[in-house]
Structure 1
Amino acid sequence: MNPTPVTADHLKVPGATLYYEVRGQGPLVVLVGAPMHAAHFAPLAALLADDHTVLTTDPRGVNRSSLDVPGQDSTPQLRAGDLSRLLTHLDAGPAAVFGSSGGAVTALALAVAHPGRVSTVIAHEPPLNRLLDDPEKHDAAVEDIIATYVSGDVAGAWAKFMINANIPMPDFEEPADGPADAPAEPDPQQVADERFWFLHEMRGTTRWQPDIAALRAGPASIVVGIGEESAGQLCDRTSIALAAALGTEPTYFPGGHIAFADDPAGFAPRLREVLREN
């Protein structure tokens, strides 16, 4: 089977230049993350492109989407504006938008600020601290994570991030014949994207307060997605709280927090089913 052709381009928006990709044909679906970018969604996008037009993008300040002023913070409102301008540029929409993690927050912000651009939002595990009973605790944890990163302890910052998210740390086994070779030098772009996430994206994303009344009254269907393997994790709790506030039940997907990237072939059929139903 020949791969689906991909059209890649850039769009100038206020404060940034966005990289985006379009592939496939059929009803429009947007796949969006934060801090994850278009490359993380490419395998899933290729599967959906058999019967959908799929738009993916690098969020502002990440990977191939550059900022006019480096170091500007990225907020859900700014990223929602970017998506709205992309849809206007492509003369597309209203769109079904699948957002995961910080991208789910972006998708919800899009439905609040630009309701005419969205037909369905599938918000997969948005980290919305403001919906929890103890938001101050998690805000303090985020500040501690950021401070740890700023101190130069990158591994410690990630460890604290995983602990706060209640996501088990991956197991690393030493080879039977002795220690592994020294790791390769990190990719400079990955380092830059990691730094942007910790310093300029995490705080604004986790502190965003959803306008529940606007989401309930708006024209878009709001689906709250949770991974079947995410029980007890922070984003499981925030997603359950969001669904309860909206007066709906969560919709379950296979896998965990980033199953769309870990197992796109297993994730795509369920996403197609949810898109058909909404």
Structure 2
Amino acid sequence: MTGELHYDVTGSGPVLLVLPGGAGHPMGLGPLTERLAARFTVVTYDPLGLAHGRLGRPVAEQRVTDWSEGAHRVLEAVLPAGGSAYVFGMSSGGIAALDLLARHPERLAHVVAHEPPVVGVLADAARQRAMFVEVADTFRAAGLRAAGARLAAVLDGGPVPAPEDADAQPPAPGEELAGPMGVFLTRVLHPFTAYVPDVPALRSVAARLTLAAGSGSRGRLLHRTATTAAESAGARFTEFPGGHVGVLEHPEESARCLVDTLWAGRSPYPAAL
């Protein structure tokens, strides 16, 4: 993989690589990363450069391996010789974090993947993948509002609503790439939910992996993917506050939970937030 890397660095201490969800745009993560910067050198990776002037430009269908290899290149750029990093990945970023650990465990101290939609580990994987394809199809046919409602229903495990907006219509030319959500629905959602983790590789480094889900996601799809992936890989599982976007809604509590998870059984404990 070649090309320019887009990332931001703040704080001091051990390196913590943050892989955002969605299309990789770090929007909304400021309150979380500010708290984590009290303990870590926080490196926030923006794989498509959407927060670095590239929003609206052409984007090819994404591959998990491109994101994970890009994350590896970021670590090679910021880590000292022989150093290792912690990784926190959310949603699609959590999928990339799992792939990064499977491919490059030598530079990673511990990885936390929060609600990665790795439906490939589930017994009903084909059904779940098809439902995510329908979400993308809904966006192209009826626009963002209808697709968002369908996606929420898929994640909740409830009935999929019929579009309520009589004026629903396909996105205008260029609208697919005008915002991070459009990029996510058309370029990221399908290939990432089709990804199947390398479970044998993850099992070999299970001591360095924690799967996480929001306590508010109990009974929902991505709580199930996290617990099933943890069981398959022999890794730990923990709960964070809130639901799928709980790290955005509860940044202080989520920062504490992440630090507790990364430092479980380790000493010395880093300075307080």
TM-score (norm 1): 0.81
2:171 corresponds in structure 1 to none
1:94 and 2:84 aligned: yes
SS where residue 27 of structure 2 aligns?
A: helix
Distance across 1 between alignment mates of 2:122 and 2:232:
11
SS where residue 28 of structure 2 aligns?
A: helix
Q: Give the letter for the 1:162 counterpart.
A: A
2:165 corresponds in structure 1 to none
Distance across 2 between alignment mates of 1:220 and 1:86:
23
**Structure 1 segment 34-113 matched on structure 2, within 5 A:** 34-35=21-22, 36-60=24-48, 62-64=50-52, 66=54, 70-92=58-80, 93-113=83-103
**Structure 1 segment 107-126 matched on structure 2, within 5 A:** 107-126=97-116
2:220 corresponds in structure 1 to 233
Q: CA deviation at 1:38?
A: 2.5
Q: CA deviation at 1:262?
A: 0.8
Which of the residues 191, 194, 197 maps onto 1:210? Answer: 197
Q: Is the Cα–Cα contact under 8 Å of residues 61 and 70 in structure 1 kept in the other structure?
A: no
Distance across 2 between alignment mates of 1:135 and 1:194:
24
Which string of whole-angstrom CA distances, capped at 9 and with x for unpartnered residues, describes residues 23-78 of structure 1?
A: 111111111122252332221111111121111122225332749x8231112110
1:149 and 2:126 aligned: no
SS where residue 7 of structure 2 aligns?
A: strand
Distance 1:155 1:219, change over 3 A: closer
Q: CA deviation at 1:189?
A: 10
Q: CA deviation at 1:228?
A: 1.1
SS where residue 87 of structure 2 aligns?
A: strand
Q: Give the letter for the 2:26 counterpart.
A: A
Q: CA deviation at 1:190?
A: 8.3
2:271 corresponds in structure 1 to none
* RMSD value, Cα: 2.4
Q: Is the Cα–Cα contact under 8 Å of residues 253 and 267 in structure 1 kept in the other structure?
A: yes
Greater fraction of residues in strand: 1
Distance 1:189 1:146, change over 3 A: closer
Distance across 1 between alignment mates of 2:187 and 2:176:
16
SS where residue 112 of structure 2 aligns?
A: strand
Distance across 2 between alignment mates of 1:98 and 1:164:
24
Give the length in aligned residue pairs.
246
Q: CA deviation at 1:249?
A: 4.3
1:8 corresponds in structure 2 to none
Structure 2: gaps spanning 5 or more residues: 159-174, 267-273
**Structure 1 segment 154-169 matched on structure 2, within 5 A:** 154-166=144-156
Distance across 1 between alignment mates of 2:207 and 2:60:
30
- Among all aligned residue pairs of Structure 1 and Structure 2, give the percentage whose two residues are the same amino acid: 29
Q: Is the Cα–Cα contact under 8 Å of residues 118 and 220 in structure 1 kept in the other structure?
A: no
Distance 1:98 1:114, change over 3 A: same
Task: Point out the more displaced range, 123-132 or 212-221.
Answer: 212-221
TM-score (norm 2): 0.83
Q: CA deviation at 1:143?
A: 1.5
Distance across 1 between alignment mates of 2:206 and 2:104:
10
Distance 1:29 1:61, change over 3 A: closer
